Amino acid sequence: MRIGDVAGRSGVSTRALRYYEEQGLLSSDRTASGQRVYPESAVERVRMIQRFFTAGLASRTILRMLPCVDAGVASPEVFELLESEQERIRTAIADLQAAQAELDRMIEIAHHPTPEHCPALRDVAWGPYAAEAAGATRT
């Protein structure tokens, strides 16, 4: 099966397939003219790789998992790897939630500014009319 056929049936671009090959996630044979030829099983493999990417895994992590996938048996190391990836994603989610809370706070302040948060609402001693308001005269 040619690269365009695999791309069409698996729902990814031909560029993605070339990337998968560069990363060692997918392999193909070559014709005499250098065109890539994939086995029928490549479509299912690409869909599985896509699921791993959707789960937030990097290509180097997926590459470490593929021998177990190919053997049909997960090793304890793969479970440890998946659990560490799960913790990494949990930490990233917590960091994003903290960023979201701070952004929510900033938006609230922007909608309802107070002198505490907005320097422009404070009495500024150097303001253009501050001297006149204090009773000083201009010369």
pLDDT at 45 over 80: yes
Distance separating alpha carbons of residues 78 and 73, to the nearest angstrom: 10
Residue 57 CB-density burial (10 A; 0-12 exposed, 13-18 middle, 19+ buried): buried
CB 90 within 8 A of CB 56: no
Residue 15 CB-density burial (10 A; 0-12 exposed, 13-18 middle, 19+ buried): exposed
Distance separating alpha carbons of residues 74 and 76, to the nearest angstrom: 7
Scored b (16 or more CB within 10 A) or e, 96-121 reads eeeeeeeeeeeeeeeeeeeeeeeeee
For residue range 76-135, list pLDDT tens digits in order.
Answer: 999 999 999 999 999 999 999 999 999 999 999 999 888 888 877 777 666 566 556 556
Three-state DSSP class for 2?
Answer: strand
State percent of the chain over pLDDT 70.
88
pLDDT at 29 over 70: yes
pLDDT at 20 over 90: yes
Rounded (10°) CA dihedral 104, 108, 110, 111? 140
The confidence score (pLDDT) of residue 105 equals 94
The confidence score (pLDDT) of residue 122 equals 74
